[in-house]
């Protein structure tokens, strides 16, 4: 299973970061973080360059996380104004609509700057200023990036809510953030289906605790009919289009908030993750440059939604701070058919492509043909984020999508981190399918046991980070205590990630899944990722999710949910074959005690498997499913409940 893929020679020769660069700079970054980050901070354009670099203490008594604390800058100036002289006519954003025949937009840096300034002026006229919260509930259209940058320009704190969320979820987030204004659209489009965005906002604002919202700006996108409730609701074009196309940027302290973003809710109630201006922007831009090896002529496409942190850091802030061309795709991978991603790659000559394992597994399920019929010659680098990528899916991505030509960066990080913490630098490190490889500059991961002892060499346990990095979140919005308790209380002096990891003999990290998901079978700790990957290795299995359930003899037993490849048929023989297959791949200790067919798995709206709910089904506790509001399709759960063990 542990095959190694060397850096392609041609890639290494042109890479932004070579192995020698990495070794030298990484050593400096941990030996002298102040010197290192002080130097890297010069990537940004500061209104007042920082002289203080790092003020960090993880102790309960003197707890603080501050970077570049006396520096001043504006994020939108760094993403826009700075490029006008040299790249004004370069495409900043490419918009690819849901409908392949719809209108494509190429928005230059000059045009994007003007759009952001117009909205910035309009927001100021509507009484929004520094420190006010603005909720953005938009489809993947250019206005989403414009809205984020316009908030940044005037110092307002944006909080983007994924367009797939319901009225309840919007209301929760508005209530928690106390937003003054919402920017939305009439409707969104996903796979030709209309999403009633404005109607969802209307319903949300009828719910208690949402009266802070004074204004709703509505982008005309599909032209669908909506109720406009005057004077609260205003058409975006009517308010924005006539504004001047310059707008004085607010001077922001590096530690002034840039945005609040709620986590995807895989483990429980979403947390309002607060990021500040200087450290976040620097980390997003620097990781984007190093991990994606970005060059001026690249066309870069991250398929995430701007509603997730990946969209914030790697569609908007990182790429635009680097003057890159970033593609925004409104649609879904399966519409009109399973070739869509690759058709978009060919249409826009995408060179760098970044997606999630859930999308890769879904496309793999449809076979190679939809991929092979496209060219993909423009691709040079592939990326993955969001969940552990099963080695089988990794190899398919590498061999079929990338035709063995493109390195894969498997990037491990969290909303809390602001940017990538563990990932291959594609010109520096040979990769291993399923491993996120090595830490980024300045990042000091460690593995601890349950008592907090730091383990050395080859080991497995809980993943912690020993020191701060500039992109680290600063608090849970409005709840400093929850911030400390969630991340710093378990292991004093360290940031606890909540994930488990293994380190191999080469010092490569393998994320084994969330610590809460680890299964303890007769005293053996078994990571969910490993058993799932063994199942996915079977040619008939498209996707698998594994959880523990109470077992009289073993303490915990292994419960597997399996989704088959399109066209394969569920049978008792196949069930036995799969159990035997896992025994063979990992060993008898990991063989599933119970295997249930799953026509589909419950996932968060960002596509992550929600094992918390699967665990309750396996425990036969259907009344304890907890908060299911972040599920993409709650009906999936009903189907699983009907066929559960003991039902
Ligand atoms: P919540 O914190 O609300 O439960 P969440 O953890 O799913 O939600 P995110 O911040 O979007 O919210 O996801 C971060 C998590 O995703 C990581 O902690 C890890 O479990 C998983 N993850 C992300 N990238 C990778 C990767 N490359 N390999 C393995 N796991 C990954
Ligand atoms: Mg999390």
DSSP 489-540: SSSTTSEEEEEEEEE-TTS-EEEEEEGGG-EEETTEEE-HHHHHHHHHHSTT
Distance in Å, CA 421 to ligand 1 centroid: 12
Q: Specify the pLDDT at position 1.
A: 47
Ligand nearest to the CA of 465: 1
Listed in order, strand segments (DSSP E) in 239-308 are 252-253, 257-262, 272-276, 299-302
- The whole-angstrom separation of Cα 509 and Cα 420 is 14
Cβ of residue 312 lying under 6 Å from some atom of ligand 1: no
Cβ of residue 511 lying under 6 Å from some atom of ligand 1: yes
What does the H/E/C string look like for 196-226? CHHHHHHHHCCCCCCCCCCEEEEECCCCCCC
Residue nearest to atom 3 of ligand 1 (CA): 265
Q: Hey, which of 176, 413, 603 would you mutate to test ligand 1's pocket, going by the most ligand atoms within 8 Å of its Cβ?
A: 413
Listed in order, strand segments (DSSP E) in 555-603 are 555-564, 594-597
pLDDT profile of the chain (647 residues), mean per 10 = 86 97 98 98 98 97 97 98 98 98 98 98 98 98 99 98 91 96 97 96 97 98 96 98 98 98 79 97 98 98 97 98 98 96 98 96 94 98 96 97 97 98 97 98 97 97 97 97 96 97 97 90 87 94 95 92 94 96 90 94 91 92 83 88 78
Distance in Å, CA 414 to ligand 1 centroid: 5
Cβ of residue 177 lying under 6 Å from some atom of ligand 1: no
- The whole-angstrom separation of Cα 407 and Cα 13 is 13
Tokens of 634: 């709650």
Distance in Å, CA 418 to ligand 2 centroid: 12
What does the H/E/C string look like for 617-639? HHCCCHHHCCCCCCECCCHHHHH
Cβ of residue 437 lying under 6 Å from some atom of ligand 1: no
In the numeric block, the tokens 């809205």 are attached to 147
Cβ of residue 385 lying under 6 Å from some atom of ligand 1: yes
- The whole-angstrom separation of Cα 531 and Cα 512 is 10
Asked if the interface predicted TM-score (ipTM) of this complex is over 0.90, the answer is yes
- 301 phi, psi to nearest 5 deg: -130, 115
Ligand nearest to the CA of 386: 1
Instruction: Establish whether the linkage from the previous residue to 231 is cis, with ω within 30° of 0.
Output: yes
Residue nearest to atom 17 of ligand 1 (CA): 414
Q: Specify the pLDDT at position 2.
A: 59
Backbone conformation region of residue 597, classed left if phi is above 0, alpha if psi is from -120 to 50, else beta:
beta
In the numeric block, the tokens 């302290």 are attached to 253
Distance in Å, CA 267 to ligand 2 centroid: 7
Residue nearest to atom 29 of ligand 1 (CA): 388
Ligand nearest to the CA of 268: 1
Q: How far is CA 234 from CA 42, 165, 223, 228, 491, in A?
A: 41, 22, 15, 7, 49
Distance in Å, CA 416 to ligand 1 centroid: 10
Q: Hey, which of 269, 291, 355, 387 would you mutate to test ligand 1's pocket, going by the most ligand atoms within 8 Å of its Cβ?
A: 387
- The whole-angstrom separation of Cα 262 and Cα 7 is 36
pTM above 0.90, yes or no: yes
- The whole-angstrom separation of Cα 135 and Cα 170 is 9
The total number of residues written for the chain in this structure: 647
Tokens of 9: 């020679």
Q: Specify the pLDDT at position 622.
A: 86
Q: What is the dihedral of CA 580, 583, 585, 586, to 10 degrees?
A: 160
Instruction: Establish whether the linkage from the previous residue to 142 is cis, with ω within 30° of 0.
Output: no
Q: Specify the pLDDT at position 467.
A: 96
DSSP-based three-state secondary structure for 452: coil
* Among 265, 257, 263, 323, residue whose Cα is nearest residue 294: 323
Cβ of residue 386 lying under 6 Å from some atom of ligand 1: yes
Q: Hey, which of 305, 359, 436, 511 would you mutate to test ligand 1's pocket, going by the most ligand atoms within 8 Å of its Cβ?
A: 511
Q: Hey, which of 393, 415, 517 would you mutate to test ligand 1's pocket, going by the most ligand atoms within 8 Å of its Cβ?
A: 415
Cβ of residue 414 lying under 6 Å from some atom of ligand 1: yes
Distance in Å, CA 388 to ligand 1 centroid: 9
Q: Specify the pLDDT at position 298.
A: 98
Q: Specify the pLDDT at position 647.
A: 61
DSSP-based three-state secondary structure for 353: strand
- The whole-angstrom separation of Cα 390 and Cα 536 is 7
Question: Given the CA of residue 269, which atom of ligand 1 is nearest to it?
Answer: 3
């Amino acid at each position: 299973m542990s095959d190694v893929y060397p850096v392609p020679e041609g890639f290494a020769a042109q890479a932004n970061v070579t192995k020698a660069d990495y070794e030298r700079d990484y050593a400096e970054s941990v030996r002298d973080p102040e010197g290192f980050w002080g130097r890297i901070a010069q990537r940004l354009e500061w209104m007042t360059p920082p002289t203080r670099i790092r003020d960090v203490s993880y102790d309960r008594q003197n707890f603080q996380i501050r970077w570049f604390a006396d520096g001043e800058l504006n994020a939108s100036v760094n993403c826009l104004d700075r490029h006008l002289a040299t790249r004004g006519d370069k495409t900043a954003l490419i918009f690819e609509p849901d409908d392949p025949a719809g209108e494509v937009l190429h928005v230059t840096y000059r045009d994007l700057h003007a759009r952001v300034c117009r909205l910035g002026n309009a927001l100021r006229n509507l009484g929004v200023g520094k420190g006010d919260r603005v909720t953005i509930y938009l489809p993947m259209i250019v206005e989403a990036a414009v809205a984020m940058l316009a908030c940044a320009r005037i110092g307002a704190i944006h909080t983007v809510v994924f367009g797939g969320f319901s009225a309840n979820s919007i209301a929760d987030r508005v209530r928690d953030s106390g937003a003054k204004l919402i920017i939305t659209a009439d409707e969104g489009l996903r796979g030709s289906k209309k999403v009633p965005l404005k109607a969802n906002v209307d319903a949300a604002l009828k719910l208690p605790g949402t009266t802070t919202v004074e204004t709703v700006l509505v982008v005309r996108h599909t032209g669908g009919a909506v109720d406009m409730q005057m004077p609260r609701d205003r058409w975006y074009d009517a308010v924005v289009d006539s504004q001047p196309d310059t707008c004085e940027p607010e001077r922001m302290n590096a530690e002034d908030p840039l945005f609040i973003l709620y986590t995807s809710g895989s483990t429980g109630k979403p947390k309002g993750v607060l990021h500040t201006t200087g450290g976040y922007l620097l980390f997003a831009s620097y990781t984007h440059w190093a991990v994606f090896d970005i060059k001026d002529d690249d066309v870069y496409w991250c398929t995430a939604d701007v509603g997730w942190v990946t969209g914030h850091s790697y569609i908007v802030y990182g790429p635009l701070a680097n003057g890159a061309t970033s593609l925004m795709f409104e649609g879904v991978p399966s519409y009109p058919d399973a070739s869509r991603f690759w058709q978009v790659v060919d249409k826009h000559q995408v060179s760098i492509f970044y997606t999630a394992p859930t999308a890769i597994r879904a496309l793999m399920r449809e076979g190679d043909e939809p991929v092979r019929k496209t060219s993909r010659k423009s691709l040079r680098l592939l990326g993955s984020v969001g969940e552990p990528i099963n080695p089988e899916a990794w190899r398919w991505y590498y061999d079929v999508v990338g035709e063995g030509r493109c390195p894969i960066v498997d990037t491990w990080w969290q909303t809390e981190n602001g940017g990538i913490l563990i990932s291959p630098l594609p010109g520096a490190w040979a990769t291993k399918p399923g491993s996120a490889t090595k830490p980024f500059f300045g990042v000091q991961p460690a593995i601890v046991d349950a008592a907090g002892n730091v383990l050395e060499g080859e080991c497995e346990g809980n993943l912690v980070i020993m020191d701060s990095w500039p992109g680290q979140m600063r608090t849970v919005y409005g709840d400093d205590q929850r911030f400390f308790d969630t991340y710093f209380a378990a292991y004093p002096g360290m940031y606890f990630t909540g994930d488990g990891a293994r380190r191999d003999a080469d010092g490569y990290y393998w994320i084994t899944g969330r610590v809460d998901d680890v299964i303890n079978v007769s005293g053996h700790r078994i990571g969910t990722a490993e058993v799932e990957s063994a199942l996915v290795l079977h040619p008939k299995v498209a996707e698998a999710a594994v959880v523990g359930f109470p077992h009289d003899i073993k303490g915990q037993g292994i419960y597997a949910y399996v989704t088959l490849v399109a066209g394969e048929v569920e049978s008792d023989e196949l069930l036995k074959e799969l159990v035997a297959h896992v025994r063979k791949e990992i060993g008898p200790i990991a063989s599933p005690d119970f295997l249930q067919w799953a026509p589909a798995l419950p996932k968060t709206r960002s596509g992550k498997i929600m094992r918390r709910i699967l665990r309750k089904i396996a425990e036969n506790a259907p009344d304890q499913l907890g908060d299911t509001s972040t599920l993409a399709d709650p009906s999936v759960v009903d189907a699983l409940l009907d066929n559960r063990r003991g039902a």
